[in-house]
Chains A and B, each alone.
Chain A
Amino acid sequence: KQEVTQIPAALSVPEGENLVLNCSFTDSAIYNLQWFRQDPGKGLTSLLLIQSSQREQTSGRLNASLDKSSGRSTLYIAASQPGDSATYLCAVFSDYKLSFGAGTTVTVRA
């Protein structure tokens, strides 16, 4: 069974600082990895999708890397803003299903 772990569980940074969110998974036989953002009481918004053959994916201030052999992915958010405050979820797609981590809750202080 795929296990996904996200560290840290919570993070508080001053505005402008770069964010580094970590995700690890136990089974490297994945199809893809997806990062989501969830605001309180809301649904999940897809941020980035990395296929298993890719090493990284970028969208604006967001960059996600994937090291399948070591079972790790990292989400970098450059120059954080208060609007980046949310919970970030990592999800690994394998065996036809997404397995989610518990998320990292980010607070960006103005």
Chain B
Amino acid sequence: DAGVIQSPRHEVTEMGQEVTLRCKPISGHNSLFWYRQTMMRGLELLIYFNNNVPIDDSGMPEDRFSAKMPNASFSTLKIQPSEPRDSAVYFCASSLNANEQFFGPGTRLTVL
């Protein structure tokens, strides 16, 4: 299996622009998680999907952030409008029935 796939790997954008991050979970996994990692706050869960349904989005910072999972093999995290404080590494992870989580390589986002 190719593991969790994320794109793009790096994104540099200007403040106010829309950013879309993409994730393809491991085939057969039914849970998908979006995390954000910063030096100041470490790893934080943003949102969790189970069987394509958002279960817990309490970690989403504000309305500028939205996430979708239209099918079992694809999810997006969108930031609109982006701000410099959104600069971080965003990870997607997947698991089967809330067991061992497998992480993607991450997207390094820089907002200028």
The answer to whether B101 and A34 touch across the interface, beta carbons within 8 angstroms, is yes
Residue from A31, A93, A96, A100 in contact with B43 in the complex, judged by beta carbons closer than 8 Å: A100
Number of interface residues of A (CB under 8 A): 21
A32 close to B (CB within 8 Å):
yes
A96 to chain B, nearest CB (A): 6
Q: Which of A42, A96, A99 has the most CB of B within 10 A?
A: A96
Q: Point out the residues of chain B lying under 8 angstroms from A91, CB to CB.
A: 43, 101
Residue from B42, B105, B106 in contact with A100 in the complex, judged by beta carbons closer than 8 Å: B42
Number of interface residues of B (CB under 8 A): 20
Interface secondary structure of B, over-half rule: strand
Query: Chain A interface (Cβ within 8 Å of chain B)?
Result: 31-32, 34, 36, 42-46, 49, 89, 91, 93, 96-103
Q: Point out the residues of chain B lying under 8 angstroms from A89, CB to CB.
A: 43
The answer to whether B100 and A49 touch across the interface, beta carbons within 8 angstroms, is yes
